Amino acid sequence: MLINLNDKNILVTGGAGDGLGPGICEAVNDAGGRVIVNDLNLEAAQEAASKYKGGLAVAGDVSIAEDVARMFEEIKNQCGNIQGVVNNAGIGLGKYAIEAEEAEFSHLYDVDVKGIWLVTRAFVRQLLDNNEAGSIINISSVQSFNTMHRMAIYASAKSAVNGLTRGLAVELGQYNIRCNAVAPGYIYSKQSLSIIGKWAPDPEKWIEDHKTDHQCLDFFTSARDCGNVVAFLLSDLSRSITGQTIYVDNGTTNLLYNNRYTQ
């Protein structure tokens, strides 16, 4: 039994990053799906899309309604309707809530929450126009479950993503449209490394200690590990799963105390 995304066009927002994006796109591609890579920068999206069979690139800011409408028009003209969306585009902050500026708060919520709503709204309207089923996967975070210093604003946005996921599942089930979230633990990306660098003088050491202390499984979660779960949730194998947030975190969210404290 294999995950089969044959004949499905899948939009991956923020797909040109160097963290989760490639792992998600690869998994969709390997399952037979056609990958449509969105990102802010067209050249970066084109370079990423060129790695996948029939890959298509669309540039646009997910937090701007006009960009999202144009992207969906471009996709429709170039490869027809889409059957799945992975809302992966997202930014972090790494600042104490009381130190953050209003513009930083708004920007984070615009991309991490409003962006998901705008892309999902455009996708669902297209599905309803064509009387089609579909699957939406939102990339959340372990920070939506428990959080840490300097993450309150990001954690609250990712908690909103989980809430949006549940609510969309409730509202869209009647149309056979599913909505789930994947909540990764630490995954390498330049973005995550630079945020960790805001408090850790040696981010690589901090990440190594995180693996030893704050995961049940003693290896790093890869972007592809998350991509495999995303591909499953996009496929008909998961047809009875909706409204769920699945933690892909090597057990981070199970731990009450760090390993060295209790072993």
Ligand X SMILES: NC(=O)c1ccc[n+]([C@@H]2O[C@H](COP(=O)([O-])OP(=O)(O)OC[C@H]3O[C@@H](n4cnc5c(N)ncnc54)[C@H](O)[C@@H]3O)[C@@H](O)[C@H]2O)c1
The interface with ligand X within residues 53-82 (CB under 6 A) comprises: 61-63
| Candidate segments 50-58, 73-81, 181-189, 229-237, binder of ligand X by CB under 6 A | 181-189
Number of residues that bind ligand X (CB under 6 A): 28
What DSSP state is assigned to residue 114? I
The interface with ligand X within residues 134-163 (CB under 6 A) comprises: 139, 141
**Strands across the sheet with 177-184, in order?**
56-59, 34-39, 9-12, 84-87, 134-139, 177-184, 245-248
State which H helix or E strand residue 162 sits in.
helix 152-172
Judged by CB under 6 A, does residue 186 bind ligand X?
yes
Among the listed residues 55, 90, 134, 227, the single contact to ligand X using CB under 6 A: 90
- In the residue annotation, 188 being an active-site residue is answered as no
Query: Quick one: angle between helices 223-234 and 20-30, nearest 10?
Result: 50
Nearest distance from residue 51's CB to ligand X, in Å? 14
The DSSP string of 28-95 is: HHHTTPEEEEEESSHHHHHHHHTTSTT-EEEE--TT-HHHHHHHHHHHHHHH---SEEEE-------S
Catalytic residue among 154, 188, 257, 261: 154
> Is 219 in contact with 250 (CB distance < 8 Å)?
yes
**In the beta sheet, which residues pair with residue 10?**
35, 84
Please give the Cα distance from 248 to 168 (Å, whole number): 21
| Candidate segments 75-83, 179-187, 205-213, 232-240, binder of ligand X by CB under 6 A | 179-187
Nearer to ligand X, 33 or 184 (CB): 184
Among the listed residues 11, 17, 82, 232, the single contact to ligand X using CB under 6 A: 17
Judged by CB under 6 A, does residue 227 bind ligand X?
no
Judged by CB under 6 A, does residue 222 bind ligand X?
no
Site of tokens 């995961």: 215
Q: Which CA distances in Å does 141 have to 3, 54, 99, 158, 255?
A: 24, 30, 22, 6, 16
Judged by CB under 6 A, does residue 19 bind ligand X?
yes
Nearer to ligand X, 62 or 177 (CB): 62
Judged by CB under 6 A, does residue 230 bind ligand X?
no
Active site residues: 154
- Binding stretches for ligand X (CB under 6 A): 13-14, 16-21, 38-40, 61-63, 88-91, 111, 115, 139, 141, 184, 186-187, 189, 191-192
